[in-house]
Chain A
């Protein structure tokens, strides 16, 4: 089992550019979560999906952020336009049956300059 796979591992972009983060969950998992980690705010849940349907997006900071899950094996988190305050590590996690057996990916470190 390859685990949760995120790409890219590192992303450096200029303010105003569009950024797309990608996630492949563990095969068979029906929940997918996007988290953001910063020193100031710790680990924040942005959005989660169940069976490819967004369930709770209350953590998405603003309209510049959007997430999609077109199928059970792929999800994207898009920031457009990006701002320096979006710099953080973004984690994707997947699970079977909600909070049980959460597995995190290695994260994408985003730097917006």
Chain B
């Protein structure tokens, strides 16, 4: 029979409120982190990134915070809009010497924005 899928963590917010999506990463040697947004039926789309030598980076309506001590990443979305409804993934880059790195994705969080 068909396996039961995992239920993604879900965050439900009111339109206009701020959203905070959290992510724990696994490898203390990871040197680069990215947040992706995935809408239904589409591929993941780049939102914002941060290198490990930074604690905070701001974009348009989005801010990423990095806490290397506890290996935690967060994405803050200001004034959340219905169009922000999607699944959000964090990804960490695990360096591989001179062979570039490979991105390892987290489980994902589903953001639902209520009008």
What are some 24 contacts across the A-B interface (CB < 8 A)? A4-B43, A31-B100, A38-B5, A39-B6, A40-B3, A42-B6, A42-B105, A43-B89, A43-B105, A45-B102, A50-B99, A55-B99, A56-B96, A56-B99, A56-B102, A91-B43, A97-B100, A98-B101, A99-B34, A99-B101, A99-B103, A102-B34, A104-B44, A106-B42
- A99 smallest CB distance to B (angstroms): 4
User: B residues bordering A, Cβ < 8 Å?
Assistant: 3, 5-6, 32, 34, 41-46, 49, 89, 91, 93, 96, 99-108
- Does A45 contact B103, Cβ atoms closer than 8 Å? yes
- Is the beta-carbon distance between A50 and B100 smaller than 8 angstroms? yes
Size category of the A interface is 20 to 34
Contact with B along A23-42 (1 / 0, CB 8 A): 00000000101010011101
| Contact between A102 and B6, CB atoms less than 8 A apart | no
Tell me which residues across on chain B come within 8 A of A100, comparing CB atoms: 32, 49
Cα distance A79–B91 in the bound complex, in angstroms = 27
Most buried by A among B41, B44, B107: B44
